Amino acid sequence: MIIEHMDVNIVEAPLSTPFRIATGQHNTLKNVFVSLTLKSGVKGWGEAAVATHITGETVEKTFSNLKEAAAVSLGEDISDHRSFLGAFREKFAENHAGLAALEMAVLDAWTRTLKIPLWKLFGNSPVPLRSDITIVIGSLQEAETSALAYSRRGFKTFKVKVGQDHDLDLARVLAVRKAAPRVNMVIDANQGFTASGMLKFLKELKKNKVVPLLVEQPVPKNDWDGLKCVTRAVHKSGILVCADESVGSLADTVRAVRERAVTAINVKTMKSGLLEGEAIARLARAAGMELMIGAMMESALAVTASAHMAAGLGCFKYIDLDTTYFLKGPLAKSPYLDEKGCFDLSRARAGIGVVLP
Ligand SMILES: [Mg+2]
């Protein structure tokens, strides 16, 4: 499995709806794609979705890191993919989206060569996955309209983004509940509250008979005391407290487990790559935490790679792989994802199974 050629490109694609969260927004997708060709002619594709407003990584640096990786990879053998990829850990220590793209391309080519679907690297059978749908930050009217439309379309779990204007947030969550009374509700604050602010917010929701299943990243990512405070306070209610921005590595996961800081973790390949993502998932589950699989503003390629990982591991309770619904054009099409958020990876034959246009 000798690498003969590796291309790195920045691709920009329009969004159908701006993806707005508490810390910023995406108006377009601007991601870095890797395409790798082996001497055998087999190809593999990878994608880096850089979320500068969340991770501080940049498209330019990701592009140059991947170009440099490509230059030193020509003629290298990926048969032992772990040791091949391990050699790049230091280079990508501050650029996990870049690492994710490289891993994805290598694992895609590796599994395509062996004619096995990517999920087989992670488990024995692919569990069916059903993604939630995100209600992005916006007006009350927008929350209501999207909730109605998504509910009619068949989505069963809604992730409502909050954290910018707490009064409006409250009204939006209640509007979503009213528009879609039977759906499961998850709220994602993207660091937009203090611990006491979040507890007050949850109290207000409860007064209105709304109890979310899970609250994601209520406080700023370095506020571990705040995370713990919310986790302890809601423990009896059964609401899960999920770390997203706070946990991007295995080391962060060890800390979360040791300090019992949260009861769930959102694993994203763009935060940790696929291989460390797997280690994070295994540790968190072993410690009794629930798992969410999430994504940055990713096209069908990276979202499907994450779906393979989650379907193979089979231990993710919350699936948040809905970003292709915010995209237009060919980058939005995963062959294994339907319009209601259901992934069926049992039909995947080799690799990730998404060919870039
Ligand atoms: Mg999140």
Q: How far is the CA of 268 from the centre of ligand 1 (A)?
A: 10
Q: How far is the CA of 187 from the centre of ligand 1 (A)?
A: 9
Q: How far is the CA of 150 from the centre of ligand 1 (A)?
A: 19
Please answer whether residues 155 and 186 qualify as being in contact, where contact means their C-beta atoms are separated by less than 8 angstroms: no
For 102, the enclosing helix (H) or strand (E) is helix 96-113
Q: How far is the CA of 241 from the centre of ligand 1 (A)?
A: 11
Q: How far is the CA of 180 from the centre of ligand 1 (A)?
A: 22
Q: How far is the CA of 7 from the centre of ligand 1 (A)?
A: 31
Query: Which H, E and C letters describe 239-267, residue by residue?
Result: CEEEECCCCCCHHHHHHHHHCCCCCEEEE
Helix axis angle for 96-113 and 59-73, nearest 10°, is: 40
Q: How far is the CA of 86 from the centre of ligand 1 (A)?
A: 28
Query: Residue 341 in 3-state DSSP?
Result: coil
- Bridging pattern class, strands 24-38 and 43-48: antiparallel
Which CATH class for the 3-115 domain? alpha beta
Domain boundaries of the chain, sorted by first residue:
3-115, 120-347
Please answer whether residues 33 and 97 qualify as being in contact, where contact means their C-beta atoms are separated by less than 8 angstroms: no
CA distances from 347 to 126, 148, 309, 350 (A): 10, 31, 15, 10
Q: How far is the CA of 111 from the centre of ligand 1 (A)?
A: 30
- Bridging pattern class, strands 129-130 and 342-343: antiparallel
Q: How far is the CA of 207 from the centre of ligand 1 (A)?
A: 25
Q: How far is the CA of 189 from the centre of ligand 1 (A)?
A: 7
Q: How far is the CA of 134 from the centre of ligand 1 (A)?
A: 10
Q: What is the per-residue pLDDT for 44?
A: 98
Q: What is the pLDDT along the chain (357 residues), one digit of tens a residue?
A: 999 999 999 999 889 888 888 887 788 899 999 999 999 999 999 999 998 888 899 999 999 999 999 999 999 999 999 999 999 999 999 999 999 999 999 999 999 999 999 999 999 999 999 999 999 999 999 999 999 999 999 999 999 999 999 999 999 999 999 999 999 999 999 999 999 999 999 999 999 999 999 999 999 999 999 999 999 999 999 999 999 999 999 999 999 999 999 999 999 999 999 999 999 999 999 999 999 999 999 999 999 999 999 999 999 999 999 999 999 888 999 999 999 999 999 999 999 999 876
Q: How far is the CA of 216 from the centre of ligand 1 (A)?
A: 6
The three-point CA angle 301-86-258 to 5° equals 90
Q: What is the per-residue pLDDT for 243?
A: 98
Q: How far is the CA of 208 from the centre of ligand 1 (A)?
A: 24
Q: How far is the CA of 191 from the centre of ligand 1 (A)?
A: 9
Q: How far is the CA of 157 from the centre of ligand 1 (A)?
A: 15
Q: What is the per-residue pLDDT for 257?
A: 98
- Bridging pattern class, strands 214-216 and 240-243: parallel
Q: How far is the CA of 185 from the centre of ligand 1 (A)?
A: 14
Q: How far is the CA of 352 from the centre of ligand 1 (A)?
A: 24
Q: How far is the CA of 112 from the centre of ligand 1 (A)?
A: 31
Please answer whether residues 334 and 311 qualify as being in contact, where contact means their C-beta atoms are separated by less than 8 angstroms: no
Q: What is the per-residue pLDDT for 357?
A: 66
Which CATH class for the 120-347 domain? alpha beta
pTM of the model: 0.96
Q: What is the per-residue pLDDT for 24?
A: 79
Q: How far is the CA of 59 from the centre of ligand 1 (A)?
A: 20
CA distances from 109 to 43, 47, 91 (A): 5, 14, 21
Q: How far is the CA of 188 from the centre of ligand 1 (A)?
A: 6
Query: Minimal CA–CA distance to 109: which of 170, 46, 53, 166?
Result: 46
